A and B are shown apart, each in its own frame.
Chain A
């Protein structure tokens, strides 16, 4: 089954310390300098929403955000345009883009280190209910594919736990918890 529109969300360490208003000018600068591979268009500020999208850097091929869905703050990459030849390509690309964005935010002087991936928890999901939905008979195959992917990039099956989303109304995806801190630079190199 071909999956597209892969999303990756990297959960943050000390989310209570994050001041989302500080992210707004950073994202505006990213547009000014077009720092990502995707065309960056605008910033949508949803700080006023409880458990919402947070601050979104809207792009053409993808959006980046500091997302607060489920009241869990994370750096999210939302791939909107088609990508790649295989699902593995797409998982890799989305995870790589999310990690790169996170790395960039972690090193932004303006943010003073307030944004930091916790190195353990992430969510990968498919933002398209037609291509992947919870309860579909094809999910077993996708889960195996995702399990294989994370095993290969996190150094083996023993290094992480994976939980499959079960609420049928939510987007299909998995929560992954690394059992040891992820080496972000190393993982970015692996995925590149």
Chain B
């Protein structure tokens, strides 16, 4: 943990956007309360997950060292960060990057954070996020403050929330798009962030945008909410619309999204998304985590019924001006070039030509290209991030985005500047060709850092990259453009279902030993926004996967029909033929040589799954009431601190706010749409809990409720030190009484929320 955390707080005080700064302050208080044992571990786990502070492998203090499960004796024997999660164990910080958009200052801050708080690497995920690993929980508020100072929030990067809103990284510059989806993605991201209707999900909710139907870049078909730009000519004028898909998702059971609306009016995007969120929160599964994603709800109800329910919900939504506020901006172009368009000069360099051939594509704006910066395994160093920031400033208006293939793209590069760009990239090792082709292997973190990893997805990816890079120049063109994607387990974070050659980690016992394997999934469709999913074929030991890739690719080259895609080829030859082709690779050889099979790529330890964590993916079910009450308790704690510092007025106000928060939590169990307005809360509380005597204590009667009524009646009046002190005491008692009341109400009234997947 850094000694400078307090100094950063002081330096950035008053310099952060107020909402972002307040979020971090709240999280810091939650850390303090947890250390004092004043917040239970499940609640704290949920609180930190909602700030993107995630667990990491071995954070339960157990690690298989190749011989035995070793206990890691972390010094802090105090609180836990959550069930089976030790306080001092390093964790992962996920950083949301809406539509992958980054500027130079943000890249520089990410470089600094990777250097100072992580292990010197930033990792780009398959959902355009950035992740830092090996971060101490007590450093995370400083990480968040430094990010907030450049306009980035980690809020709702994990947990059962609306996750990062992804979008095609070519949005706005792609020749094939209907129109730029960036403003719509940004608007949805802002609108749903922290939205009250999105706090009560049984699982996560992932939105994605694409500018067209046919390309892969947005992958909308595998998202909970997929949005595709469309245009139609109406009365002679071009009109924008949004093709809306719902209920897609990968995971262990992949579902293709269903068409919700062919041509939704843009002004309906936010309210319909809100209505979907409300239906998901209300009807989505909460107890059985394995069926809690939206895809199951849509499947179980049927798309017609689901649509009917959403439209019904839409019809009763109170109007929100934000639904349409952004639309004028959306109609204007949002990005501009820095340099004038110009022809590319002649360059006599084979590496440059190869890079140019695979890593650049023309924009719809003549004279400009998008350049892809390939990142091996999605990893990037601080030096590289700073070089990217420099070149983005020098050649563009800092128009950089992350991609779902774990790369960066630099947009609006004048063709004239391509040699200069390549020179900079090459100087820091980022000039590798092969963007989006078979060498550009995608992998989730797997056993490297993920608590749920079964096999080493990154180890295999590194091995395949190395082998394929050597031979890529000799590979047949049909193979060059295949996609390989690897997940460390069946949860599909590596998106293996939509790859030509997909793999996910499994374990098998051979001769009494665990052997790392990968299930082979072939023939997924990357184009058409991840249009169809591959077929599981056979489980093969990790060590044989490179041979399998070579054999399957060779078979494809030699036996494919004219113009036949890999997906069509796999479908034509069928599973039996594929099995016959690779069946021998599924076996672990006997004898001495088989020791090689008992370890995984990049990891010399004898393989074991004994140290797989419980995983926050398998996390907690916490009622919204509990979560709200925890917030009320944090507020009363803050009120106490204010009082200690002699800040009487804010202490009184905060104590009063904590009572309102607790009262609202109770009211919400029966009336979800209660407005965040003091008069409404007190009135509804009185009607539902005081007049009915349900809030009454067996001995004290309605005394604790009177504390709220008294505070409400005096709201706005000055506080003395004494009255503020009394109010803080009363608030604490009121919150305790709220807990008691809730417990008396029984489980049937409790809306439950918030489970945890990665």
- Which B363-400 residues have C-beta < 8 A from chain A? 376-377, 379-381, 383-384, 386
Complexed CA–CA distance, A28 and B605 (Å): 7
Given contacts A39-B74, A51-B428, A60-B88, whether A2 and B3 have CB atoms under 8 Å apart is yes
Q: Which one of B116, B381, B430, B465 contacts A127 once the chains associate, using CB atoms below 8 Å? A: B116
Please tell me if the beta carbons of A82 and B3 are within 8 angstroms of each other in the complex: yes
Stretch at the interface among A10-18, A128-136, A158-166, A183-191: A128-136
B417 at the interface (CB under 8 A from A): no
Please tell me if the beta carbons of B604 and A25 are within 8 angstroms of each other in the complex: yes
Please tell me if the beta carbons of B602 and A24 are within 8 angstroms of each other in the complex: yes
Stretch at the interface among A42-50, A98-106, A114-122, A137-145: A42-50
Please tell me if the beta carbons of B121 and A32 are within 8 angstroms of each other in the complex: no
Question: Binary interface profile of B, 567-606, with partner A (CB < 8 Å = 1, else 0)?
Answer: 0000000000000000000000000000000000011110
Complexed CA–CA distance, A128 and B139 (Å): 12
Q: Please indicate which of the listed interface residues B70, B383, B384, B448 has the most CB atoms of chain A within 10 Å of its own CB.
A: B383
Q: Which one of B108, B428, B429 contacts A169 once the chains associate, using CB atoms below 8 Å? A: B108
Given contacts A128-B4, A128-B116, A130-B11, whether A51 and B65 have CB atoms under 8 Å apart is no
Complexed CA–CA distance, A81 and B1 (Å): 6
Q: Which residues of A contact B381 (CB under 8 A)?
A: 49-53, 69
Query: Within the complex, what minimum Cβ distance (angstroms) separates A59 from chain B?
Result: 10
Complexed CA–CA distance, A30 and B428 (Å): 32
Query: Within the complex, what minimum Cβ distance (angstroms) separates B60 from chain A?
Result: 12
Please tell me if the beta carbons of A28 and B3 are within 8 angstroms of each other in the complex: no
- Which A30-65 residues have C-beta < 8 A from chain B? 31-32, 39, 41-42, 44-53, 56, 58, 60, 63
Complexed CA–CA distance, A44 and B116 (Å): 16
Q: Which residues of B contact A31 (CB under 8 A)?
A: 63, 65, 70
Q: Which residues of B contact A182 (CB under 8 A)?
A: none
Closest to A70 in B: B383
A151 at the interface (CB under 8 A from B): no
Q: Which residues of B contact A69 (CB under 8 A)?
A: 120, 381, 383
- Which A66-100 residues have C-beta < 8 A from chain B? 67, 69-70, 80-82
Given contacts A49-B121, A58-B119, A60-B74, whether A130 and B90 have CB atoms under 8 Å apart is no
Q: Please indicate which of the listed interface residues A31, A45, A81 has the most CB atoms of chain B within 10 Å of its own CB.
A: A45
Complexed CA–CA distance, A58 and B118 (Å): 10
Complexed CA–CA distance, A69 and B327 (Å): 46
Given contacts A32-B65, A58-B90, whether A48 and B462 have CB atoms under 8 Å apart is yes
A123 at the interface (CB under 8 A from B): no
- Which B75-91 residues have C-beta < 8 A from chain A? 75, 88-90
Q: Please indicate which of the listed interface residues A25, A39, A49, A129 has the most CB atoms of chain B within 10 Å of its own CB.
A: A49
Complexed CA–CA distance, A80 and B66 (Å): 27
Q: Which residues of A contact B133 (CB under 8 A)?
A: 44
Please tell me if the beta carbons of B3 and A44 are within 8 angstroms of each other in the complex: no
Q: Which one of B4, B75, B88, B121 contacts A46 once the chains associate, using CB atoms below 8 Å? A: B121
Complexed CA–CA distance, A83 and B268 (Å): 58
Query: Within the complex, what minimum Cβ distance (angstroms) separates B135 from chain A?
Result: 11
Complexed CA–CA distance, A130 and B4 (Å): 6
Q: Which residues of A contact B628 (CB under 8 A)?
A: none
Please tell me if the beta carbons of A41 and B11 are within 8 angstroms of each other in the complex: no
Complexed CA–CA distance, A45 and B379 (Å): 11
**Count of chain A residues with a beta carbon within 8 Å of a chain B beta carbon:** 38
Complexed CA–CA distance, A51 and B427 (Å): 10
Closest to A132 in B: B4
Please tell me if the beta carbons of A52 and B121 are within 8 angstroms of each other in the complex: yes
Q: Which one of B63, B120, B602 contacts A53 once the chains associate, using CB atoms below 8 Å? A: B120
Q: Which residues of A contact B111 (CB under 8 A)?
A: 169
Query: Within the complex, what minimum Cβ distance (angstroms) separates A43 from chain B?
Result: 8
Please tell me if the beta carbons of B66 and A130 are within 8 angstroms of each other in the complex: no
A146 at the interface (CB under 8 A from B): no
- Which B50-71 residues have C-beta < 8 A from chain A? 57-58, 63, 65-67, 70
A171 at the interface (CB under 8 A from B): yes
Query: Within the complex, what minimum Cβ distance (angstroms) separates B245 from chain A?
Result: 36
Closest to B604 in A: A25
Complexed CA–CA distance, A80 and B74 (Å): 14
Q: Which one of A45, A52, A128 contacts B2 once the chains associate, using CB atoms below 8 Å? A: A128
B25 at the interface (CB under 8 A from A): no
- How many contacting A-B pairs (Cβ < 8 A)? 118
Question: Binary interface profile of B, 399-439, with partner A (CB < 8 Å = 1, else 0)?
Answer: 00000000000000000000000000000111000000000
Q: Which residues of B contact A39 (CB under 8 A)?
A: 72-75
Q: Which one of A5, A28, A48, A53 contacts B119 once the chains associate, using CB atoms below 8 Å? A: A53
B313 at the interface (CB under 8 A from A): no
Please tell me if the beta carbons of B134 and A58 are within 8 angstroms of each other in the complex: yes
Query: Within the complex, what minimum Cβ distance (angstroms) separates A56 from chain B?
Result: 5
Query: Within the complex, what minimum Cβ distance (angstroms) separates A100 from chain B?
Result: 21
Please tell me if the beta carbons of A49 and B604 are within 8 angstroms of each other in the complex: no
Query: Within the complex, what minimum Cβ distance (angstroms) separates B55 from chain A?
Result: 14
Q: Which residues of A contact B134 (CB under 8 A)?
A: 44, 58
Complexed CA–CA distance, A47 and B136 (Å): 24
Please tell me if the beta carbons of A42 and B63 are within 8 angstroms of each other in the complex: yes
B729 at the interface (CB under 8 A from A): no
Complexed CA–CA distance, A47 and B380 (Å): 12
Please tell me if the beta carbons of B120 and A56 are within 8 angstroms of each other in the complex: yes
Q: Which residues of B contact A50 (CB under 8 A)?
A: 381, 384, 428-430
Please tell me if the beta carbons of B115 and A127 are within 8 angstroms of each other in the complex: yes
Please tell me if the beta carbons of B379 and A52 are within 8 angstroms of each other in the complex: yes
Q: Which residues of B contact A25 (CB under 8 A)?
A: 604
Query: Within the complex, what minimum Cβ distance (angstroms) separates B280 from chain A?
Result: 37
Please tell me if the beta carbons of A49 and B8 are within 8 angstroms of each other in the complex: no
B700 at the interface (CB under 8 A from A): no
Q: Which residues of B contact A48 (CB under 8 A)?
A: 376-377, 379, 462, 465
B112 at the interface (CB under 8 A from A): yes
B7 at the interface (CB under 8 A from A): yes
Please tell me if the beta carbons of A129 and B74 are within 8 angstroms of each other in the complex: no
Complexed CA–CA distance, A79 and B469 (Å): 36
Query: Within the complex, what minimum Cβ distance (angstroms) separates B559 from chain A?
Result: 33
Please tell me if the beta carbons of B3 and A4 are within 8 angstroms of each other in the complex: yes
Please tell me if the beta carbons of A129 and B112 are within 8 angstroms of each other in the complex: yes
Closest to A47 in B: B462
Query: Within the complex, what minimum Cβ distance (angstroms) separates A143 from chain B?
Result: 20
Complexed CA–CA distance, A187 and B604 (Å): 34
Chain A residues close to B by CB (< 8 Å): 2, 4-5, 24-25, 28, 31-32, 39, 41-42, 44-53, 56, 58, 60, 63, 67, 69-70, 80-82, 127-131, 169, 171
Known contacts A2-B3, A41-B58, A41-B89; 9 additional CB pairs below 8 A are A4-B2, A28-B603, A31-B65, A41-B63, A49-B380, A51-B383, A52-B379, A128-B4, A131-B3
**A and B contact pairs by CB, cutoff 8 A, 26 listed:** A4-B3, A24-B602, A28-B605, A32-B66, A41-B90, A42-B58, A44-B119, A44-B121, A44-B448, A48-B377, A48-B379, A50-B381, A50-B428, A51-B381, A51-B429, A52-B120, A52-B121, A52-B379, A60-B74, A60-B75, A60-B88, A60-B90, A80-B136, A128-B116, A169-B108, A169-B111
Query: 4 closest Cβ contacts across the A-B interface?
Result: A50-B429, A130-B4, A53-B120, A25-B604
Chain B residues close to A by CB (< 8 Å): 1-4, 7-8, 11, 57-58, 63, 65-67, 70, 72-75, 88-90, 108, 111-112, 115-116, 119-121, 133-134, 136, 376-377, 379-381, 383-384, 386, 428-430, 448, 459, 462, 465, 602-605
